[in-house]
Amino acid sequence: MMFRFFPFLTTFAVAGLLAACAGDAPDNRSGATPMIDGTSIYATDEGQDRHSYARPLEARVTHVALDLNADFDEQRMVGTATLDLEVAEDGEEVVLDSKGLEIREVVNGAGEALRWEMGADSGDVHGAPLTIALDGAERVKITYASAPGAAALQWLSPGQTAGGEDPFLFSQGQAILNRTWIPTQDSPGIRQTWDARITVPEGLRAVMSAEMLTPEGEPVEGEPGRRAYRFRMSDPVAPYLIAIAVGDLAFQELGERSGVYAEPSMLAAAAAEFEDLEEMIDAAEELYGDYRWGRYDLLVLPPAFPFGGMENPRLTFVTPTILAGDKSLVSLIAHELAHSWSGNLVTNASWDDFWLNEGFTVYFENRIMEAVYGTEQAEMLADLGWADMMADVEDLGGLTSSDTRLHLDLEGRDPDDGMTNIAYEKGAVFLRTVEHMVGRARFDAWLRDYFDRNAFRPQTSAGLIADMDANLFQGEEAAEIGLEEWIYEPGLPENAVHVQSNRFRAVDQAIANFTDSGEVTVINWPEWTTQERQRFLDGLPRELDGERLAALESTFGLNDARNSEIRFAWLKLAIANRHDDARDSVEDFLLSMGRRKFVAPLFEALMAEGDWGRPFARRIYREARPRYHSVTTNTVDETVGTSDG
């Protein structure tokens, strides 16, 4: 179905954006529209955000104030959103993004009714435009309710939590899901400050991606059995970063400015796993400047959370699948921490430039891991990332596929389509290649200043190129690196720097030896790191006989591996060989968590195995689907079909 987008950028705005990126830019914490020579810099390279109905040059949301009741019985958020607006002199209406919202009333700051209209729903993730006639108003108050089943929100029954006694709620807003519970301009280029008052049942705790003004909550007058929690985000953020969780949560400090929330039974394990968090923050600041968000806390969610982590400001949401017991998967925490600079501080202006968030973050993550855990660890992670990138290149149809570009064309598509390892790993390889050309010292100085120059601002590929031209490259370096080819062309340029791990050489030899002999004695498993074990399992031929598979499983206990990455790598291999002894492990793994990175490939692998895998996959999915977040089901539905399929 065609989807109507409203252009919100003029040619002059592009020029203003490039000027802003090329020179000094004022700090933009106020929430006001950043201006360069009188021109707004809210922009994309194409002159529009393809995934928002907003027209911010006419009227732009600068602040959102939420007053909502978390209704666990109806599974809805119910209450009000009050929006402060910046309105152009000739602005007559504001256009917001919404999907499935039940709008009950719209008034101005004085409480007077305003005319509003909900447009036709697109029939896909984009939802419908909510247009409000302003009649001179610069503040609007919307009384509304989210729909049951709102895509951003997952309401868990007590049985889906670790404690088993209380329900749980969490949100996942990226990329454009927050419009299912907040009526605002849901574009990453339209940064907004916000505050919230959230009421929840007594005994549950609400947390959000903001300063927590009432950490213990307060009684609600006239509503016995409920408590209210208040939050404030004073720095303008992209709207997808507004996040909430409600449940039986306990907290433990990890350092002066960091700590972890989790269900009580998981708290001790989480605190032990993340005990190096303060050291990571210090390393990140040493590399690229001050951490600007005050606290950096973690929230370990129930296993239904669809991602490894989500970089919500001040409160990163993480999956329990990284609790391996030996800190072997904490690179994910380094990644989410790095987003405090790349993504949260400097944000892709539209989802066509998702790589500006993730490519920079993967590069930065690796530098944190190098600083805290050493060069060898960083090299192994980078080498595994290269392999992930090349696997996605193959899945996307090869190096000529347009989806192997960094800057994408996602018009008419779900922005989720751009969330591949191209954005993450090719983006990081590009930055490593630039670092290799100009030298680490000069690159680090530029990147530190880049975050300062563009703090609290949206960014585009064109803006990045302008910044590099003005502040990094000398002489013919820009032409030598091939900026335009790297960013706008498919494939992988010949000058790409592939970081290769020396420790993987022995692993690769073990792969060859085991493939040839079938003897597990050639495998130095007890001495290997998680990353070496991943390399081994992923590097084995996809066709192995049952005797070799049985030897691997019985020797190393792969069906019961606690480390989720190792178990995932093993199950991919087992499914490819229709290894019956792994079926119970496959079922248990898919029913125990909803992380899309693991769930989607395993269902795809099962469906590829005909009569052996398809009925098995469909039976598991019928049971598992109600436990998964919409982010995961939207992907797996296309592979397996719905629960009724």
Closest CA to 582 of 612, 608, 604: 612
Residue tagged active-site, from 58, 263, 336, 425: 336
Only one residue has tokens 């493939």, namely 515
CA distance 373 to 404: 31
Chain centre distance of CA 276: 22
CA distance 108 to 347: 31
The one-character DSSP state at 240 is G
Closest CA to 632 of 604, 597, 581, 607: 597
- What is the helix, strand, coil percentage profile of the chain, to 5? 40, 20, 40
- Contact at 8 Å (CB) between 553 and 568? no
- Whether a cis peptide bond, with omega within 30° of 0, leads into 245 is no
- Say whether 587 is catalytic: no
Q: What Rg do the C-alpha atoms of the chain give, in angstroms?
A: 25
Chain centre distance of CA 560: 28
Residue tagged active-site, from 424, 450, 621, 628: 424
Kindly report each contact of residues 503-508 with a partner whose C-beta sits within 8 Å and lies 24 or more positions away, as own/partner: 503/376, 503/379, 503/380, 503/529, 503/532, 504/380, 504/383, 504/532, 504/535, 507/532, 507/535, 507/536, 507/539, 508/535, 508/539
**Cα separations (Å) of 621 from 112, 150, 469, 589, 606?**
50, 21, 50, 12, 11
- Say whether 53 is catalytic: no
* DSSP, residue by residue, 616-629: HHHHHHHHHGGGS-
CA distance 103 to 211: 28
* DSSP, residue by residue, 327-372: STTTHHHHHHHHTTTBTTTEEESSGGGTHHHHHHHHHHHHHHHHHH
**Cβ-based neighbours of 50, under 8 Å, separated by 6 or more:** 5, 44, 350, 351, 352, 410, 411, 412
452 token code pair? 């300062």
- Contact at 8 Å (CB) between 266 and 322? no
- Contact at 8 Å (CB) between 97 and 52? yes
- Contact at 8 Å (CB) between 354 and 415? yes
SS3 563: coil
CA distance 358 to 121: 30
- Contact at 8 Å (CB) between 614 and 641? no
Residue 638, number of CB atoms within 10 A of its CB = 12
425 token code pair? 């790993």
Residues designated catalytic: 336, 424
